[in-house]
Structure 1
Amino acid sequence: MGRKKFKTKSNFSEAQVEADVAMYLGWCTPLDDQPFRLLDINEQETGADKKFDAIVPIYIQFKKSDSLEEWHNPKKLPIMSPLQSIRKFRYEKELADSPTLYFQLREKAKNALDFQHNVLYYNNKPPKSYGIYVAPLTLNKKEYYDDLCCGPRFFSDPWMWRRQNIHDGRHPSAWASHFDIQPFLRKHISIIPHEIVSDSNHFYAFSEMGDDVSWHSPTVINGGPFRLSDFMSRRIREIFSEEQPLTSVDEALSVATSVLNELNIDSAGILNGDNSFDRLRSYGRWLHEKFSIRQMMLCINKEGIQEIRSDLQR
């Protein structure tokens, strides 16, 4: 009698997840009169360097999730595979495991200077830039696309379907709430790489609710909530906060330069462009080509943000 199947593979691809999430993040950008917007590396935004004078790069590695059934037999197996060890660890730590979703780190590409995971880790330098993994919290393709397509898409204002709950579109809590309530963003986990690796035999595991995140070799990752909606709403709240200074384009570019230095790569042939904004975008294109890490940029107009900050203090 064969061994019982304990894992289920998703029929998504990383490329599908990347295309859908990147499209959606660009689609839920504010209207033209708002003091910030999300800019995708692939968008041809002319004059963006003149409209925006602060920026927060967000570097994303998109993953697809597979699942594991909960651990029913606490007895030690003769040979403990990595996936079985995930099940056993989550059982012992009483983490949500019915089922457990997970993804493995990508193997080091041929001729690559470092693991993709480490490059993502190097790019996570808050508040100047952020590096995250993003993966769906479902294996069901129909459910995934129902959330992607919910509400009246292709309107100039993607929040029109919840307009009755929005009183002031310029208020930071309103825009942060916009990201909080979006079903599609809530159905993705966002995990910040937390340590350097020397091989790809590591896994992030998490619940279908986007919590109880664990890392193998085993430890529990603290610091949630971890949903993509939570990550984006935190970034929006931060740019309206007086407590955190806005990051200049030159400061964001300095992170890119430090990553290239870490990899022992000459930045002269990569950071191309007439200004810091263009050079940062050229870094994003290089990063996507070499490591499949997507660059999204939260572009900010300081004058517009300061007007809102002043209004809030009155």
Structure 2
Amino acid sequence: MTSYIINSNLSERQIEADVATYLGWCAQGLPFRLLDVNEQATGADRLCDVTVPVYLQFKKSQGLRPLTSLTLARRANESPLQGIRRFRRRHELADDPTLYFQLRKKADGAHELQHNLLLAHHQPQTSYAVYVAPLYLDRDRYYEELCHGPRLLDHPWDWRPTTIWHGYPATGWLSRFDRQPFLRNHISIAPHERVASHNHYYAFASSGDQVSWHSPSAIDGGPFRLSDFMSARLREIFVGDSPLPDPRAAWGAAAAALQQVDMAAADEYEADDAFERLRQHGRWLFKSFAIRQVLLCARKKEIEAIRETLQAR
């Protein structure tokens, strides 16, 4: 094993299970629900007329030690990981260490790369798709953060007693995800371009920013932490002025994504209503590509009341 690689002892399956469960914990008692593809839908879920799909591809981060000098000669068959180190040092991006993950190989029997399918599902503001990876490499530290502090909060400042709580509760709904330490310690990166092979890497700082793509190029935007991503999605719903997507719009985005990658899986879905078709699509994605679907569900009447209250302040 190359001496500059820092291996992680985490498991992608465990990262996926922990993050999906944690998102459900954070959403308890709020005016929306995060419905995981593996959960059973209730009658209340079917009454929700606001539905925003979020498609998650979980990755295990690996680490790279920084280059000690840019004078290191480039070799003819140099590893792309060495190119990551060289690019980040040359462009003064944080690299002590650099965290990274590689795109997944094409699945057996598949005619499309998982990355391109994920990209097709990223259609803001109707649906979103992101890679999610921890900013930790050590399993013990990861689980310590997972179990640290309260998760089920009456309001998001319970774990910061020096902060005085003021304001309309919607402020708390937005801040809850932004302030969760476990979510702050995961990066979320939306796929940004199609690829012809899996030989590409996303790299980033251990602080969850300064993302680069190898090719190579730097990725504009951010912040990239999962906590920021979730807070931004809720902010669009509660304090935005864009139309609220319903199950039909969400299913339409999923069907359009399949057309982009020339897949006909939607023809096999048997459900009549858009909400259940969307969930069938999520189960197919999970089984075939390990892409996890989470549906942000709410009732339009309640969300509009919150918007009106905030606009009147």
Determine if contact 2:49/2:299 at 8 Å carries over to the other structure.
yes
Tell me the residue number matched to 2:159. 162
Specify the alignment match of 1:72 in structure 2: 68
Q: Identify the residue that residue 239 of structure 1 maps to in structure 2.
A: 237
1:179 is displaced (CA, Å) by 0.8
Contact 1:129 1:252 in 2 (8 A): yes
3-state secondary structure, aligned to 1:205: strand
- Report the CA distance between 1:241 and its aligned residue: 2.3
Distance 1:301 1:28, change over 3 A: same
Q: 1:43 aligns with which of 39, 59, 63?
A: 39
What is the Cα deviation at residue 25 of structure 1?
0.6
Partners of 2:148 and 2:172 lie apart in 1 by 20
Identify which of 182, 185, 204 aligns with 1:184: 182
| Amino acid aligned to 1:16 | Q
Deviations 1:32-77 (A, max 9, x none): xx42121111111211444310111000000000000001121223
Q: Does 1:17 align with 2:15?
A: yes
2:224 equivalent in structure 1 = 226
Paired residues for 1:200-215 under 5 Å: 200-215=198-213
Residue identity matched to 1:282: Q
> Are the counterparts in 2 of residues 179 and 230 from structure 1 also a CA contact under 8 Å?
yes
Counterpart of 1:60 in structure 2 is: 56
Give me the CA root mean square deviation: 2.0
* Count of equivalent residues: 309
Q: Secondary structure at the match of 2:66?
A: coil
Q: CA deviation at 1:133?
A: 0.1
Q: Distance in 1 between matches of 2:7 and 2:60?
A: 9
SS in 2 for 1:162: coil
8 Å CA contact retained: 1:173, 1:237: no
Contact residue 271 and residue 280 of structure 1 kept, 8 A: no
SS in 1 for 2:159: helix
The structural deviation recorded for 1:215 is 0.3
Matched residue SS, 1:67: strand
Residue 286 (str. 1) matches residue 290 (str. 2): no
Q: Which amino acid aligns with 2:199?
A: N
Question: Could you say which residue in structure 2 is the equivalent of 1:30?
Answer: 28
Seen in structure 2, the aligned counterparts of structure 1 residues 223 and 279 have a Cα distance that, compared at 3 Å, is: same
The answer for unaligned runs of 5 or more in structure 2 is none
Amino acid at match of 1:182: Q
Q: Percent identity?
A: 51
Q: Deviations over 1:132-174 (max 9, x none)?
A: 0000001121211111111245x58585843855847963322
Partner of 1:254: 252
Contact 1:270 1:282 in 2 (8 A): no
- In terms of mean alpha carbon deviation, does 42-51 or 124-133 score higher? 42-51
Contact 1:121 1:194 in 2 (8 A): yes
Q: Which residue type is aligned with residue 309 of structure 2?
A: D
Tell me the TM-score normalised to structure 2 length.
0.93
> What one-letter code is carried by the residue in structure 1 that aligns with 2:132?
V
Distance 2:159 2:167 in 1: 12
The secondary structure found in structure 1 opposite 2:132 is strand
Tell me the distance in 2 between the aligned counterparts of 1:88 and 1:197.
22
AA paired with 1:76? A
Q: 2:121 aligns with which of 98, 120, 123?
A: 123
Distance 1:223 1:85 in 2: 22
Unpaired runs of at least 5, structure 1 = none
Deviation of residue 200 (structure 1)?
Answer: 0.7
**Per the alignment, do residues 113 and 4 of structure 1 end up closer, same or farther by CA in structure 2, a change over 3 Å counting?**
closer
Which residue in the other structure is 1:264 paired with?
262
Residues 151, 161 of structure 1: 8 Å contact kept: no
Contact 1:169 1:175 in 2 (8 A): no
Structure 1 residues 35 and 106: CA distance shift in structure 2, 3 A? same
**Partner secondary structure for residue 27 of structure 1:** helix
Q: Report the CA distance between 1:269 and its aligned residue.
A: 4.3
Task: Quote the offset at 1:188 in angstroms.
Answer: 0.1
In structure 1, the residue matched to 2:86 is 88
* Distance in structure 2 (CA, Å) of the matches to 1:168 and 1:52: 30
- One-letter amino acid of the structure 2 residue matched with residue 128 of structure 1: T
Residue deviations 1:220-239 (CA, integer Å, cap 9, x gap): 00111000000000011110
Q: Distance in 2 between matches of 1:47 and 1:163?
A: 36
Say if 2:156 and 2:172, in contact at 8 Å, map to a contact too.
no
Given the two structures, how large is their TM-score scaled by the length of structure 1? 0.92
